[in-house]
A and B are shown apart, each in its own frame.
Chain A
Amino acid sequence: MTESLTGADSSLDAGGYLVEPDVAGRVIAAALQRGGDFAEIFAEDRYGTTAFLDDGRVEELATGRVRGAGVRVVVGETTGYAHTSDLTQAGLMAAAEAASAIARSSVGAVRGVAVGPGPLQGGSREAGGSEPTVPRSAPALLHPLQVAKAKKVELLWRADDAARSAGAEVVQVSAGYADSVRQMLVANSEGLFVGDYTVRTRLSASVVALGDGGMQTGYETIALTRGFEVFEDHDVAELASTAARRALAKLSARPAPSGEVPVVLASGSGGILFHEACGHGLEADHIAKDASVFVGRIGELVASPLVTLVDDGTLGGEWGSLGVDDEGRSGARNVLIENGVLTDYMWDLIRARKEGRSSSGNGRRESYRHLPMVRMTNTFLMDGEQEPEEILADTPHGVYVAKLGGGQVDTTTGDFVFGTTEAYLIENGEITEPLRDANLIGNGPEVLSRVDAVAGDFSMTPGTCGKDGQSVPVGCGQPTLRVSSVTIGGTAGA
């Protein structure tokens, strides 16, 4: 068994800077040489391993390396951006040149250009002189680069075995493993020079079961901002069995109802409800352009008093956690809705600067090739006081959602959908028949006001959030809760 430790590993583990402070200072100064209000370098070095098992075979083990930097220059209301995979001073200078030329190329379309050396130049000197730090967002106890590839592959076999032994109707299993190690650095003209070192690990299983009524699918995943030690306290076999159980349960499922019903969402079902119902609508970029139903509603009751919603990038080891965001701001815990009252939006640097406030640590980007924007980290509903059993018993008729898939929102209307991947009918306060997959649809503020029961059994679920073409890892969480009425999009009479 060989373990490949290539050049990628040594530099990722070296703990040095991707860009030396003096180089960063010179590049930032060059970016602002001909004017501009703000300049920033974002550099990253990412190394990842993925392994995929399908159809009873390990089909592929793959590794990839991405290394580069983006330079952003802000001139008035205009942002210029260019990136490079060349982290030498010459490469960064070329990107700085391109970004600043871009920012100024919109001749006649730029207002409020600040030309000449302002406090920004001083800032860049400070960048060179200050004591730079490279924090580590969450130390990986078992660094993926120190774990043999064979051990990663072994996990997939364990998942395959467990899923296939879950029932004779299981006809297909696939399992995927992925880890990534990212070193990043942000330096800007305000004197910031910080880095982060992030290790992420993910494993998923997907199962197809075949019955008399056709095929059904089941899926489960674990994903954490931690190292390989994740598998010491998360059983891969159990995860695969859960995926298989979902597919098997749906073989006898009836079509989901059609129409408005009370819905009980189980703890761990996904938390995607709040991500879609209000998370996106509370992002400051949508707010600034009046593209959200939550514009101008700070201080108002926008949800049931049972709703306290938090976005927290500091949650230890969760999928959406970060040491610093992709603009170098420390991850933070931000209360968005407190007892139903809207307290704040989420902010990145650019939106915050315009409002004369500080970023909330929500500036994120997919990679060095992308401009940052306002993104969620881990978004979750705080615990209530009821018992989950109590909520169920108190629901004479409705739908119990054990697991959600994805969702989508139109922030302008607040209308959002979220899909079930494991759901049951509730009859006389008890869970009865399984239901086929369906989307539910609701309006953010309406659904938030209809949360009429919240339990105390909170848990988190990982997800991938897509916005404007960029994907970032996020966490969603909630305890068991009930929404008194939501439209479910099945085909059977409600």
Chain B
Amino acid sequence: MTAAGSSEGQGEGLDDLLAIASGAAELAKPGEMIEAYAMRARQTEVRAYEGEVESLSSSDSAGIGIRVVVGGCQGFAHAASLDAEVVKETLAEARDNASFATPDEHVTLAVPDGVHAGALDLFDEGLTELQMDEKVRMAIELERMVRDGDPRVRQVPSADYEDASLQAAVVTSTGIQAATRRTGCHLSVSAIAGELGGSHTGVGFSVGRGPGDLSPERAAADAIERATRLLGAKKARSGSLVVVFDPRVVSTILGVLSAAFSGEAVTKGRSLFAGRVGEQVALGSVTIVDDPTDIRAYGASPYDAEGLASRRNLLVKDGILQGFVFDTVSARRAGVASTASAVRGGYASTPVAGCRALSLMPGSLDAEAILREVGEGLYVQSVTGVHSGVNPVSGDFSVGAVGLMVSGGELAQPVREVTVASTLQRMLTSVVAIGSDVEWLPGIAAGQTLAIGGMTLSGT
């Protein structure tokens, strides 16, 4: 693939990708199964700073990942090119690599299972027609809105417009043939409020499939509010209390918890939910669904990464664990059918079982009502150290937090440099309130306001 401005681009479309993938899959020898995953992406990134463009990147990229399964052994190879010669080399490498795997009767590729993919419109033509000047204008305007939006805003270190248009095709020698295309764009901006030594950062963003979905006003207002309301933040006193998590934090926590719903983690004894189907794992108010057919979800897609039609999977119903998400291999290992939940990082990695569109069934109260109901506690605006402090195997949960104390049902004194801790198991059974304010955010899970009791705050 070549840089922006070249002739080889998105125009060639899905048929071309399907043809390339089919071309590789068709080369399967007797006793061999081949899967080819081919993709193309076009991306733009604009960063504005002090009324000007600081950087602007534009890229076209493409690549192919090929799996070969022979005698229960899988080999994989990938290359950042769709060139016919490179595809052939990649297939040869994948074949050679297969000879080093340990034979495993469960290792196989997906086969069509009769479920038809719904039509999900994830492609916004408006984005492909959007001119570069317009993208630049949006980033600069976003920066200006934050800079001029509040006298306490001292710096706007980044104001970004980014978009991506992706096409992918997966074809196997076992009859799978699936192609998808999608667009996405987002605005994100960070504001620094306050004087040196007492500054705070707030980040705001807005996401959508096309430019019409974006709200720079909301992104700007969010960044300003989140930075300014922390001014004067102090450490808080250690103790046990109710924590009200912001929707963005809840999305992050659900994203980590999703690892425990992975059929692969379960079959390999690496999930805190292993062996607990049918048991009460959460309060009765908790229902968790992974539904990639929900078009509002950032991870929505008509097919999973192995080319099976996406479907809605109920994971926890009224607090009782219902099941897990499986790709083809983990499903075989568990003796069940795939739930069409294969995910992959791109053409350079192989599919694994995972959630794409996790959400908590909403409750009846909005954020304000939850604060009133909680009365006293801590509102957590953002967390740090999620990758180092939340363990989906042991369930240990300890994260850095900034936010505001909740006093008399309202946000009060801002707080920084504290941690909140518990275990995932205890948190699921200590839910105080689930918000009605569901928000689909970038990532694999929706967020909403969530109040959890019995959390330990560590401060002074």
Chain A: residues with CB nearer than 8 A to chain B? Answer: 2, 4, 6-8, 51, 54-68, 71, 76-86, 91, 94-95, 97-99, 101-103, 105-107, 109-111, 149-150, 153, 171-172, 208, 210, 214-217, 250, 256, 258-260, 286, 289-291, 293, 295-296, 369, 371, 404-410, 412-413, 415-419, 436-443, 487-491, 494
The one of B196, B400, B421 that contacts A490, using a Cβ cutoff of 8 Å = B421
Query: What is the CB-to-nearest-CB distance from A262 to chain B, in angstroms, rounded to a whole number?
Result: 15
Question: Is A415 a contact of B417 with CB atoms below 8 Å?
Answer: yes
B residues 1-58 near A (Cβ < 8 Å) are 1-6, 49-58
Query: What is the CB-to-nearest-CB distance from B7 to chain A, in angstroms, rounded to a whole number?
Result: 9
| B75 proximal to A (CB < 8 A) | yes
Q: List 21 interface pairs A-B (beta carbons < 8 Å), by A numbering.
A: A6-B92, A56-B102, A77-B50, A77-B53, A78-B54, A84-B1, A84-B2, A94-B3, A94-B6, A150-B100, A208-B269, A256-B398, A407-B385, A408-B384, A412-B201, A415-B417, A419-B398, A437-B396, A440-B419, A490-B456, A494-B238
**Mask of B177-203 contacts with A, CB within 8 angstroms, 1/0:** 000000000000000100011011100
The one of B96, B104, B420 that contacts A4, using a Cβ cutoff of 8 Å = B96
* Smallest CB gap from A3: residue in B: B96
The one of A54, A260, A291 that contacts B155, using a Cβ cutoff of 8 Å = A291
Question: Is A58 a contact of B102 with CB atoms below 8 Å?
Answer: yes
Question: Is A489 a contact of B389 with CB atoms below 8 Å?
Answer: yes
Q: A83-B59, A442-B417, A489-B420 are in contact. Are A259 and B136 (CB under 8 A)?
A: no
| B458 proximal to A (CB < 8 A) | yes
Question: Is B269 a contact of A408 with CB atoms below 8 Å?
Answer: no
| B375 proximal to A (CB < 8 A) | no
The one of A56, A149, A217, A441 that contacts B419, using a Cβ cutoff of 8 Å = A441
Question: Is B56 a contact of A109 with CB atoms below 8 Å?
Answer: no
- Residues of A within 8 Å of B235, CB to CB, are 487
Q: A62-B350, A94-B2, A256-B398 are in contact. Are A217 and B391 (CB under 8 A)?
A: yes
**Which stretch (B76-84, B109-117, B364-372) binds chain A?**
B76-84
Total number of B residues with any Cβ neighbor in A under 8 Å: 88
The one of A7, A172, A489 that contacts B458, using a Cβ cutoff of 8 Å = A489
Question: Is B238 a contact of A259 with CB atoms below 8 Å?
Answer: yes
A/B pair count, beta carbons within 8 Å: 314
| B89 proximal to A (CB < 8 A) | yes
Q: How far is the CA of A86 from the CA of B1 in the complex (A)?
A: 7
Q: How far is the CA of A436 from the CA of B395 in the complex (A)?
A: 10
The one of A4, A437, A488, A489 that contacts B391, using a Cβ cutoff of 8 Å = A437
- Residues of A within 8 Å of B3, CB to CB, are 71, 82-84, 91, 94-95, 97-99
By Cβ-Cβ distance, the 9 closest A-B pairs, closest first, are: A489-B419, A419-B388, A417-B385, A439-B389, A417-B400, A406-B388, A95-B3, A106-B53, A62-B76
Interface centre among B78, B104, B140, B419 (most CB of A within 10 A): B419
Q: How far is the CA of A51 from the CA of B77 in the complex (A)?
A: 11
Query: What is the CB-to-nearest-CB distance from A414 to chain B, in angstroms, rounded to a whole number?
Result: 9
Q: How far is the CA of A415 from the CA of B234 in the complex (A)?
A: 12
| B270 proximal to A (CB < 8 A) | yes
Q: How far is the CA of A290 from the CA of B190 in the complex (A)?
A: 13
The one of A208, A291, A408, A438 that contacts B393, using a Cβ cutoff of 8 Å = A208
Query: What is the CB-to-nearest-CB distance from B196 to chain A, in angstroms, rounded to a whole number?
Result: 6
Question: Is B57 a contact of A371 with CB atoms below 8 Å?
Answer: yes
**Mask of B382-406 contacts with A, CB within 8 angstroms, 1/0:** 0011011101011110111010000
| B359 proximal to A (CB < 8 A) | no
Query: What is the CB-to-nearest-CB distance from B386 to chain A, in angstroms, rounded to a whole number?
Result: 8
| B133 proximal to A (CB < 8 A) | yes
- Residues of B within 8 Å of A82, CB to CB, are 3-5, 57-59
| B101 proximal to A (CB < 8 A) | yes
The one of B100, B389, B416 that contacts A58, using a Cβ cutoff of 8 Å = B100
Q: How far is the CA of A371 from the CA of B50 in the complex (A)?
A: 20
Question: Is B2 a contact of A110 with CB atoms below 8 Å?
Answer: no
**Mask of B219-246 contacts with A, CB within 8 angstroms, 1/0:** 0000000000000000100100000000
| B363 proximal to A (CB < 8 A) | no
Question: Is B2 a contact of A86 with CB atoms below 8 Å?
Answer: yes
- Residues of B within 8 Å of A258, CB to CB, are 238, 419, 421, 456-458
Query: What is the CB-to-nearest-CB distance from A270 to chain B, in angstroms, rounded to a whole number?
Result: 10
Q: How far is the CA of A437 from the CA of B62 in the complex (A)?
A: 40
- Residues of A within 8 Å of B52, CB to CB, are 76-78, 106, 109-111
Query: What is the CB-to-nearest-CB distance from B204 to chain A, in angstroms, rounded to a whole number?
Result: 15
Query: What is the CB-to-nearest-CB distance from B291 to chain A, in angstroms, rounded to a whole number?
Result: 27
Query: What is the CB-to-nearest-CB distance from A398 to chain B, in angstroms, rounded to a whole number?
Result: 15
Question: Is A406 a contact of B399 with CB atoms below 8 Å?
Answer: no
Q: How far is the CA of A364 from the CA of B145 in the complex (A)?
A: 32
Q: How far is the CA of A238 from the CA of B144 in the complex (A)?
A: 56
| B99 proximal to A (CB < 8 A) | yes
| B93 proximal to A (CB < 8 A) | yes
Q: How far is the CA of A77 from the CA of B59 in the complex (A)?
A: 21
